[in-house]
Amino acid sequence: MFRALVNRRPVGDFPQPIALPSDSHPHVAMHAEGMDDGPILICYDGSASAERAIAAAGRLLGRRTAVVLDVGPLQEVAEAYAAMGSGAAGLDRLTLDTAAARAEAGAELARAAGFRACGRAELQAPTWLGVSEVADEIGAAAIVIGSRGLSGIREFLEGSLSHQVATHAGRPALIVPPPH
């Protein structure tokens, strides 16, 4: 999946290794054309890790167009339908409206970090699929996402959205870790 390249410009006395996605990986090949010109997709859920990700992306990638995405939890809507029957129809609208407000708050942070940003909300489960579908739709050059820094059994039990996005999105992902 990755091929190792060595930067021929020495850093000190040692060449600097770089890992690049292999051109033969199907998602990379499918999305490679035009990816450099696409917007940055920033995942935002209102958490401190998402705010750190926006700040880091602004320092590294600022002055670009960005779409700030919050994927609302579709499972809450499905559970409400099951529990309340057809009377829960307004919950999907409420969940989407809440996600849209959160995405717009993230877009404000992204604009303050130097991006030309707009907010966007979706309802999808699993969340990584919603991120991947929006990235495909907008032709995202890269995805920015914060990480909670889970590992081992906690990552297995709670899941890692950043890991799932990096695995399935088929494009570069900037995963910003929590502070040490």
Rounded CA-CA distance 135/143 in Å is 8
Give the model confidence (pLDDT) of 3-55 as tens digits.
333 333 334 443 333 333 434 444 444 444 545 689 999 999 999 999 999 99
DSSP H helices, the chain, are 26-31, 48-61, 74-84, 89-112, 127-138, 152-158, 161-168
**72: nearest Cα among 102, 104, 95, 103:** 95
Query: Is 0.85 topped by the overall pTM?
Result: no
Range of the domain at 71: 39-176
Question: Does residue 11 belong to any structural domain of this protein?
Answer: no
Question: Does residue 137 belong to any structural domain of this protein?
Answer: yes
The domain that contains 71 carries what CATH number?
Answer: 3.40.50.620
Give the model confidence (pLDDT) of 54-70 as tens digits.
999 999 997 899 999 99
Question: Does residue 31 belong to any structural domain of this protein?
Answer: no
Question: Does residue 121 belong to any structural domain of this protein?
Answer: yes
- Nearby residues of 33 by Cβ (< 8 Å), 6 or more positions away: none
Domains identified in the chain, total number: 1
Question: Does residue 14 belong to any structural domain of this protein?
Answer: no
Question: Does residue 49 belong to any structural domain of this protein?
Answer: yes
**97: nearest Cα among 126, 127, 77:** 77
Question: Does residue 27 belong to any structural domain of this protein?
Answer: no
Give the model confidence (pLDDT) of 119-151 as tens digits.
999 999 899 999 999 999 999 999 999 987 666
Which backbone phi and psi does 157 adopt, to 5 degrees?
-75, -45
According to DSSP, the residues that pair with 161 across neighbouring strands are none
